[in-house]
A and B are shown apart, each in its own frame.
Chain A
Amino acid sequence: DVQMTQSPSTLSASVGDRVTITCRASQNIKIWLAWYQQEPGKAPKLLIYKASSLRSGVPSRFSGSGSGTEFTLTISSLQPEDSATYYCQQYDSYLYTFGQGTKLEIK
């Protein structure tokens, strides 16, 4: 199975900062990478699919990039409501796998 490794595990940043989260796949997954945002006690929300496609309704400060085995999620200007845990997930095959998550805190 494809293993997904996220870094960092936790991140603290200030409102207005540019924030980057990295996800690495154990093998080539082409562009089949999604990013989710999860607030405490809630179901995950899809933000980015196919590595860089922004889901309709998601603020444009979120962006994704990468292909193959290295991917990034960038928040261009951090907002208070962005405090959450972020997960990457590969879907190159039907055996989906998630990263371990990155908890983003607002200073």
Chain B
Amino acid sequence: QVTLRESGPALVKPTQTVTLTCTFSGFSLSTSGMCVSWIRQPPGKALEWLALVDWDGARYYSTSLKTRLTISNDTSKNQVVLTMTNMDPVDTATYYCARISRSASGTATHEYWGPGTLVTVSA
């Protein structure tokens, strides 16, 4: 059974750096074809893809946010970590992690999602 769960601070101050952790089970990120993405959703707004790390350690970032994002994985802990620098109130959102399987039998898109964690940016 594949599960993912996000964790991190609920409240951060403007200009701070936030670290979010996605802890998953039911698969290994070292298995060929596996990837984990981070996606966010401001209150009442649309989904926005942020970053992805794949089974080979390759990392991909949103064009508009790439200077502020770092994604990393700890295979031994089954965790993927996202850091975002210089937080601003417009970054207030629910942050989700999701699994992708690019194997021959996979859907190649975000098939399993965590419940999300709300991060509020306010002084």
Chain A residues within CB distance 8 Å of chain B: 1, 32, 34, 36, 38, 42-46, 49-50, 53, 55, 87, 89, 91, 94-101
Beta-carbon contact of B46 and A91 below 8 Å: no
Residues in chain A near residue B55, CB distance under 8 A: none
A1 to B109, CA, bound (A): 17
Complex A-B: 5 CB contacts under 8 Å: A43-B115, A46-B111, A89-B47, A96-B37, A101-B46
CB-CB nearest in chain A for B116: A43
Beta-carbon contact of B109 and A43 below 8 Å: no
Residues in chain B near residue A98, CB distance under 8 A: 46-49
Beta-carbon contact of A97 and B115 below 8 Å: no
Query: How far is the CB of B106 from the nearest CB of chain A, in Å?
Result: 9
Query: How far is the CB of B96 from the nearest CB of chain A, in Å?
Result: 6
User: Chain B 83-100, CB within 8 Å of chain A: the 1/0 string?
Assistant: 000000000000010000
Query: How far is the CB of B65 from the nearest CB of chain A, in Å?
Result: 11
Beta-carbon contact of A44 and B113 below 8 Å: yes
Beta-carbon contact of A43 and B108 below 8 Å: no
- 7 A-B pairs closest in CB distance: A43-B113, A96-B49, A94-B60, A49-B107, A98-B47, A34-B109, A100-B46
Residues in chain B near residue A38, CB distance under 8 A: 47
Beta-carbon contact of A91 and B109 below 8 Å: yes
Residues in chain B near residue A101, CB distance under 8 A: 46-47
Query: How far is the CB of B87 from the nearest CB of chain A, in Å?
Result: 22
Besides the known contacts A38-B47, A46-B111, A98-B46, 9 further A-B residue pairs in the complex with CB atoms under 8 A apart: A43-B115, A49-B111, A55-B107, A89-B47, A91-B108, A94-B60, A95-B60, A97-B49, A98-B48
Query: Given the interface contacts A43-B116, A44-B47, A100-B46, does A95 sit within 8 Å of B62 by beta carbon?
Result: yes
User: Chain B 47-65, CB within 8 Å of chain A: the 1/0 string?
Assistant: 1110010000000101100
